[in-house]
Every structure is written in structure tokens, then in C-alpha cells.
Amino acid sequence: MDQSEFEQIVRIVTEEVVRYLGAPGRGVAGAAVGDDEICPDCDLNCAEKCARKTRAVVEAGADRISCGPSVVELEAGFAGLIDHTLLKPEAARDDIRKLCQEAMRFGFASVCINPWNVPLAAELVRGTKVKVCTVIGFPLGATLPHVKIHEAEEAIKLGAQEVDMVINIGALKSGQNDVVESDIRGVVEVAHRCGAICKVIFETSLLTMEEKVRASLASKRAGADFVKTSTGFSTGGATAEDVALMRAVVGTDIGVKASGGVRTFDDMKKLVCAGATRIGASASVKIMEQAAGSASLQAVDSGSQVSNSY
């Protein structure tokens, strides 16, 4: 890819993120022609704000929509989007047992733990739908490539079914794209050879927008199954803007995992609406409790509306 092609990708992605944020876009002549309604102060962000127009876009053939919380609520089975996470170095065996029990109780996608805890977690969730996820080169990403490969291979042998690896952040910031891609590919290949999937952690709070684009492209070329925002151990976590950017670059064939600072049900909804297909959270149980409370309030409101209509 030459510089002009790269700059074009950055421009397109920037426009997509600006559109997601709801900033007024450039007018498109005739864009509203044939539409049965032009909303007041229309900024062409119909999929963000209008459920009816969003449905029309889907019916026209779209298979993914980036939409606002006013358009869509998460389905009842959204617990399956969550990697229930405990990566604190002081996590004891009883903490891991509790984590696994919670994951099985709520039906979370996986438990995400440090490699040392993989054998215990694998034993506890065996026979359930909950998978075991672990981290590679965590949290700095500066581990030597062959060490990351060996760590991933050993973790999978012990029972890990998903591995979340941290990229070589320094190499990315040094413009060594080939080094970054090769580092990712090594872990991806061993994961796939052993029947596991690989998620690639960027640590977005440390990166410029241009670096996030390059990391996304390197991950896609290396065959990664997911791109992931953060470790949760740096200066910031997941943002809807970063998720939208990553989704725009990798397209629909790769998952996007939002991780770091996801503490509430509202946080989760915003990230899913921005394009996340997996959420990493240590506050998973709290999120589920908030979701249950939200559903109860909606049921009460619905009942009130029915009773008032008679």
C-alpha cells in the first residue's frame, strides 16, 4: 500500500467516525430525494437516530448498521458478548473460582484470565459453553515474538480456547509495520493451528488515529479474528470513537472487542452500537444487574401505558 492509498483510507475512516459522532456532514446534493420524510435539522445520520429509516437501510441490503442507543436495545442474550475478566496479578484461586461460577451462571462468552490460571479455569468450566480466554505478551506487548508464540501455544495446551495478544506498541510507533504484522501473524498462526482464536490488543489510549489505522490493517492482514482496544492497564480504555474507527477499517469479517473501563450497561450499549461484537469487562455482573433493572423499568412503563389507555 502506498502513501496515497493509506491517506485515502485515513480520510474515509475519519469521515465515518465524524459521522458516528453526529457532527454535521457535508451536504450531498439530492440525498433526501425520494425519502418520505426530511427530519428537522437533518444531518444525514439517520441510522443514528431514526429506527424507521434504519429498518429501510437493512431492507435495502445492509448487513451491519452502526446505530445509536435510541435505535436499538441489546438482545436478551447479550451476556454472550462479554468476556468476564479478572487480570489482576493478585487474583487468587478462590477469585478464579468465583469468576467461573459467575460466567456459568450468566452465560458469558468466556472468562479472561492470566495464563497461570488457565488450567484451573479450564477444569471449572469444562462441559459448559463458557470458553477460557487468556492474554499473551500482557500488558506491555514488548515480549519477543518467539516468546509470544510459545506462550500462546502452551496456554492453549493447558485449555485456553481464545488468546488476546498485545501488539508491539513501540514497533508500531516507530513505523515498523512489517514487524508489527509479523508479530501478530506468529500468534495467530499458532492459535489457529491449535483450534483457538486470536484477538489483537492495540492499547488505543497510547496511539494516534493514524497508528490505530495501521494496527487495524496489520491485524487484518495477519489473519486475526478480533481487534481489541485496550489492556485495561494503561492510561485509558475503550471509547465508542475508537470502536467505530476500528470497525470502519477492518470491515465486517473481523470482530471488534471493546475492553477497558466498561463499567455500566450504558457503556456497553454505546460500544455495541459503535460496532463492538465482544466486550471485555470485570464489572460484568454489575452490568447484568443494571440490564435487568432497565428491563424491569421498561416493563413497568409498558404496563402503565396499557392501563392508562382504558
**Which positions are annotated as active-site residues?**
164, 228, 257
Name the nearest CA neighbour of 111 among 164, 157, 177, 41.
164
Question: Rounded CA gap, 243 and 69, in Å?
Answer: 15
Radius of gyration of the chain (CA): 21
Long-range CB contacts (< 8 A, 24+ apart) of 20-25? Answer: 20/48, 20/66, 20/240, 20/241, 20/244, 20/274, 21/241, 22/48
113: Cα separation from own chain's centroid:
17
Question: Rounded CA gap, 4 and 1, in Å?
Answer: 8
Task: Collapse the DSSP code of 56 into the 3-class scheme (helix H, G, I; strand E, B; otherwise coil) and give the result.
Answer: helix
